[in-house]
Amino acid sequence: MTPPYILAIDQGTTSSRALIVDRTGAIVGLGQQPLTQYYPQPGWVEHDPEEIWTTTLDAIGVALAQAGLAFGDLACIGLTNQRETAVVWERATGAPVHRAIVWQDRRTAGICEDVRSAGEEERVRQATGLTLDPYFTGTKLTWLFRHDPELHRQARLGEICAGTVDAWLIWKLTGGASFLTDFTNASRTLLFNVKRGRWDDGLLDLFEVPRAALPAAAPSQSRFGFTSEEQFGSRVPITGAAGDQQAALFGQGGFAPGVAKNTYGTGCFLLSNAGRKAAVPETGLLLSLGAGAGPQGPEYVIEGSVFVAGALVQWMRDELGLIAQSADIEPLAASVPDTAGVVIVPAFTGLGAPDWDPHARGAILGLTRGVTKAHLARAALEAIALSSAELIEVMNESLPEPIRELRVDGGAAVNDLLMQLQADFAGIPVLRPQSTETTALGAAYLAGLTAGIWSSIDEVAELWRPERVFEPRLGSAERHRRLREWRRAVERTLGWAAS
């Protein structure tokens, strides 16, 4: 253990985690607490904001105990979080007024369609870099305010705070002293102008979100305040914050254009550093702000988000009972040489990039009498790899140079078969770093750079080391055949739930 120590908080969709990172980038303590998922109606997904906070606190306690450190031993804190999820609370008391509406929640598909019918899609896309989809925070706030006019009135008066999970946790960590969000999270709200780097008044009007309810936005490497002495016994500075996918790109050394990473968690998030050019892709991908924004101005990322990846494995485990643990999918899938023609499209919550169809629903195609659960397991891993491979092809159209290698992380990146399938279907090497905790490391690097623990990006870049490289083994013709078959399968799921 090499001091100083950084606390990296990684508040994810399914769990809250805390990691203690030392000067060498080693993880010397780790705490993790699962988070309850609420599904009040089909297509709705909620979290309890208080539980987001208490699980975070518990995870911090476990991480510190494991490292043998006290809270006061921490030099600084870096925060990273599930993005887009909307949290609304009372400014006076800090009490949440509603459950958090999670990024996966589809309840605002109708609101998105109304905005689209009003001809506003292109204006929204050019200002925010995002597509009109229930995924993003903006329409979740529209929904909350429409459903509670009194809340809307209070929000206009500045009595309500509305933000993403980073804003909520910064507020809680600082005992209500800081109401701040970072640029990367703000760039996922549909309310933030990514070209101007500020909230967009026209979009606030369009989505009926009062400016008085929103936090101030700051670059990821900023001073976000100090922890409350009353709660923690010490004032530790929060010196970095970023949405988890931008943090992961940073943790993967994605400091310059051309580096791409894919995170395999609940969903899959493919991000590529796009440098300082703010061109919105035309191909169903998103333009967002990157964590590397510094004094020279903002840095952009191009992103393709797949909503369901590891969640498909979870579904096979929890709902179908095909496996006992997520890791069991690998030997089961490896017990057969192919899927026997089965293709699974896990459009459980609609489809993200590049189709953006909230009405798509999942399908298992190509079933025959001989299909076993092993074929289904293999088809599940192939679905994760094929959806990402297709996104790489699409992303290449928006990049000056095609992606040459893919850096990977996230809970499902430990799956060797999945990584091999990814290399095969993408046709490029897949590089898995020694530490797949790149999201938390990204937050730690951001915080440590601001606090002066590392003096430059170059110093941080040296901490990234590959653990294993998966080389592509599939011929080009077969690879293209599989991608075409995947596209045919996806097209069968589009619009399914629309009528």
Ligand X SMILES: Nc1ncnc2c1ncn2[C@@H]1O[C@H](COP(=O)(O)OP(=O)(O)O)[C@@H](O)[C@H]1O
**Numbered residues of the known binding site:** 13-15, 17, 83-84, 135, 244-245, 266, 310, 314, 411, 415
Compute the half-sphere exposure of residue 255: CA atoms within 13 Å on the CB side of its CA. Answer: 14
Using an 8 Å Cβ cutoff, are 480 and 393 in contact?
no
Backbone angles phi, psi at 89, to 5 degrees: -145, 165
Number of helical H runs and strand E runs in the chain: 17, 22
Structure token digits, residue 86? 């909307």
15 binds, among ligand X, ligand G3P, none (CB under 5 to 8 A by kind): ligand X
Stretch that binds ligand X, among 138-146, 159-167, 324-332, 336-344 (CB under 6 A): 324-332
Within 8 A by CB and 6+ apart from 356, the residues are 131, 133, 284
Cα separations in angstroms, 280 against 86, 125, 194, 219 = 24, 8, 10, 20
Residue among 13 and 493 whose Cβ is closer to ligand G3P: 13
**In the complex, least distance from residue 19 CB atom to ligand X, rounded to whole angstroms:** 13
Number of residues located near ligand G3P, criterion CB under 6 A: 13
Interaction between residue 133 and ligand G3P (CB under 6 A): no
Q: Which does 164 bind (CB under 5 to 8 A by kind): ligand G3P, ligand X, none?
A: none
By CB under 6 A, name the one of 83, 106, 140, 152 that touches ligand G3P.
Answer: 83
**Partner interacting with residue 83 (select from ligand X, ligand G3P, none; CB below 5-8 Å by kind):** ligand G3P
Q: How far apart are CA 187 and CA 1, in angstroms?
A: 36
Per-position b or e across 171-207, b if 16+ CB within 10 A of its CB: bbbbbeebbbbbbbbbbbbbbbbbeebebbeebbebb
What letter does residue 161 receive in the DSSP assignment?
E
Query: Residue 119, Cα to own-chain centre: how many angstroms?
Result: 29
Looking at the DSSP assignment, which residues form a beta bridge with residue 218?
A: 182
The beta-strand segments (E) located in 71-113 are 74-81, 87-90, 100-101
State the binding partner of 225 from ligand G3P, ligand X, none, CB within 5 to 8 A by kind: none
327 binds ligand X, rule: CB under 6 A: yes
| Residue (134 or 310) nearer to ligand X, CB | 310
Question: How near is the Cβ of 319 to ligand X at its closest, in Å?
Answer: 12
Q: Segment 193-252, which members bind ligand X (CB under 6 A)? A: none
Beta carbon nearer to ligand X, 205 or 416 = 416
Which H or E run contains 10?
Answer: strand 5-11
Pick the piece of the chain touching ligand X (CB under 6 A) from 1-9, 11-19, 134-142, 443-451.
11-19
Of these partners, ligand X, ligand G3P, none, which one is at the site of residue 314 (CB under 5 to 8 Å by kind)?
A: ligand X
Task: Look at residues 16, 84, 18, 44 and name the one whose alpha carbon lies nearest to residue 303.
Answer: 84
Query: Residue 442 binds which entry of ligand X, ligand G3P, none, with Cβ cut-offs from 5 to 8 Å by kind?
Result: none
Out of 163, 215, 243, 448, which residue is the one contacting ligand G3P (CB under 6 A)? Answer: 243
On whether the CB atoms of residues 383 and 332 are closer than 8 A, the answer is: no
Rule CB under 6 A: is residue 246 a binding residue for ligand G3P?
Answer: no
Residue 314 touches ligand X, criterion: CB under 6 A: yes
β-pairing, 100-101 vs 46-47, is: antiparallel
Strand partners, 38: 46
State yes or no: residue 354 binds ligand X (CB under 6 A).
Answer: no
Does residue 250 touch ligand G3P according to CB under 6 A?
Answer: no
Which of the stretches 170-178, 241-249, 352-360, 386-394 binds ligand G3P when contact is defined by CB under 6 A? 241-249
Q: From the list ligand G3P, ligand X, none, which binds 243 (C-beta under 5 to 8 Å, kind-based)?
A: ligand G3P
Binding residues for ADP: 13, 17, 266, 310, 411, 415
Angle between helices 165-173 and 49-67 (to 10 degrees): 60
The single residue among 18, 60, 69, 84 that binds ligand G3P, judged by CB under 6 A, is: 84
For residue 4, cis peptide bond before it (omega within 30 degrees of 0)? yes
Site map 146..185 versus ligand X, x via CB under 6 A: ----------------------------------------
Residues that bind ligand G3P in the complex, under the rule CB under 6 A: 12-13, 82-84, 103, 243-245, 265-267, 305
Using CB under 6 A, list all residues that contact ligand X.
12-15, 265-266, 310-311, 313-314, 326-327, 329-330, 410-412, 414-415, 418
